[in-house]
Structure 1
Amino acid sequence: MRLIAHRGFGDVYPENTLTAVEAAAMRADDVAVDVRRCDSGELVVIHDPTVDRITDGSGAVCRHTLDELQALDVLGTGERIPALETVLAAVPPSVGVTLELHEVGLAADALRLARRSDPQVTVSSGIAHELEGCRGIDPTVPRAYRFDGEPEVGLDFADETDCSYLHPHASVCEEWVVADAHREGMCVNAWGVGDRETATTLAERGVDGIVADCTEVLPRVEQ
């Protein structure tokens, strides 16, 4: 079962920062980061629509330029909010990157940056329009549909848009969901996995990967 570092193992390192991504890439099979657009047009790596929770600043991400965002302190660590381009350049080719697109209108720029980077990139979103846009721009880049609601709806949409991955929340990732996804040729990565017991249950249900905030949930086995 693959281990995907949610926000660069956000329970261990300052989430979505360059330090988190670089550290997570040494332990995980894939690093998942959150993507939004700032006021000066660049794509940046941050989960929330505002900077209030994770920085010493306030206000919407889309109302800050890249320079303004990078002047903020992330969680009192001295880390900065990185540009997506910088994050992609920091991930080695042997490690995958999942780009969680949280807004409409990110697809074209996200894929442009992905083409210029070496890592194996997957685009993921809970926004149907963004996944459809990604398919139209470059159907060769794998897509994942992320959801936490009715599994039937998630399965249908992922199948209709030729997604390579299904990303259900752990709470709705039942054995039949995994089986149906596999039958349609999709891999299943469950998110919202906070403990080893849940990870073990999901493994028994046949999931292909888990998206976790810490390394202890599914430690890498040393060779």
Structure 2
Amino acid sequence: MFIIGHRGARALGPENTLSSLRKGMACADLVEVDLRLTRDGIPVAIHDATLDRTTDGAGPVKGHTVEDLAGLDAGGGERIPTLAEILDLVRNATGLVAEIKEPGTEAIIVSALMDQMPERLFLVSFHPASVATAKRLLPGAQAGLIYSEETGDPVALARSVQADLILPRWDRVSRELVERAHAAGLLVAPWLLNTEDDIREALRLGIDGFSSDDPCAARRYLEGLAGERPVRQASPGGA
């Protein structure tokens, strides 16, 4: 079962910063970042469409150049990193989950990833069209559909956009969903699992991986629970 560090390790450092990513890399198999474009078309890691919550700046991310953003404090003196900086950091060290936040930005993000491909890469999005586009542009990567609300048949939707995995909100996961996804050749990697009880239940359900705000605590829980129930083996690099 693989562990994804959510926004690096959001519980341990300012989210989506190099500091948070370093902390997540200490324990996670892959670290996740949220990607948006600046006004001058540079992919940067920030969750919200605006700067207000996570930095000392204000206004829309896409209204600022990468140079503008470089002067902002994203928490604890950290900056908003570019995707290029993130790729330098994770190279030969850990896998990357790149979340496409905005439809229409796929080609620029994929181009940056192709310049310095991580050893393991998941391209994921809440937007089905973005998943399909990312998979078409970079077929060598695994693509994943994220969802939090009812989507009808998420397994069928994921397969229709050539996804390799689904990333449901944890309260949307059931034994039936996991079995149907596996039968369709999909991995299941829900979010967010932050307690020992959640990880114990995930083992029982047979999921393939999960996202956590504190991947180091999640690793300790997972190792402590390893003897309770066999863990289904699944590589984060392939179904």
Aligned match of 1:101: 100
Distance 1:8 1:135 in 2: 23
Q: Which residue does the alignment assign to 2:136?
A: 136
Contact 2:103 2:127 in 1 (8 A): yes
Paired residues of 2:131 and 2:145 also in contact (CA < 8 A): yes
1:10 matched to which residue of 2? 10
Q: CA deviation at 1:117?
A: 1.7
| 1:61-76 mapped onto 2 (5 Å cutoff) | 61-75=61-75
Quote how far apart the aligned CAs of 1:92 are.
3.2
Give distance in 1, aligned partners of 2:219 and 2:196. 7
Q: Which residue of 2 aligns with 1:91?
A: 90
Residue number in structure 1 paired with 2:116: 117
Q: Which amino acid aligns with 1:129?
A: A
SS state at 1:193 partner: coil
Contact 1:8–1:15 (CA under 8 A) maintained in structure 2: yes
Residue of structure 2 in register with 1:188 after alignment: 188
Q: CA deviation at 1:3?
A: 0.8
Provide the alpha-carbon RMSD of the alignment. 1.6
For 1:218, what is the secondary structure of its paired residue? helix
Report the residue type matching 1:101 in the other structure. I
Give 1:198 shift.
1.2
Which residues in structure 2 correspond to 1:205-216 (within 5 Å)?
205-214=205-214, 215-216=216-217
TM-score using structure 2 length: 0.88
Letter in 1 for 2:77: G
SS of the residue corresponding to residue 192 of structure 1 reads coil
Shift of 1:73: 0.6
Asked whether the 8 Å contact 2:40–2:66 carries over to 1, the reply is yes
* 8 Å contact from structure 1 (residues 199, 218) kept in 2: no
2:27 corresponds in structure 1 to: 27
The 10-residue stretch of structure 1 (103-112 or 164-173) with the greater mean CA deviation from structure 2: 103-112
Q: In 1, Cα distance between the equivalents of 2:163 and 2:30?
A: 18
Q: State the distance in 1 between where 2:160 and 2:117 align.
A: 29
Structure 1 portions without partners, runs of 5+? none
8 Å contact kept, 1:45–1:84:
yes
Q: Which amino acid aligns with 1:126?
A: F
**Could you say what secondary structure the match of 1:9 adopts?**
coil
Specify the SS of the correspondent of 1:158.
helix
Shift of residue 175, structure 1, vs aligned partner = 0.9
Displacement of 1:63 after TM fit?
0.7
TM (normalized to structure 1)? Answer: 0.94
The answer for the alignment partner of 1:127 in structure 2 is 127
Structure-1 separation of matches of 2:110 and 2:68: 25
Measure how far apart 1:139 and its partner are: 2.0
Instruction: Give aligned pairs, total.
Output: 221
Deviation of residue 152 (structure 1)? 4.1
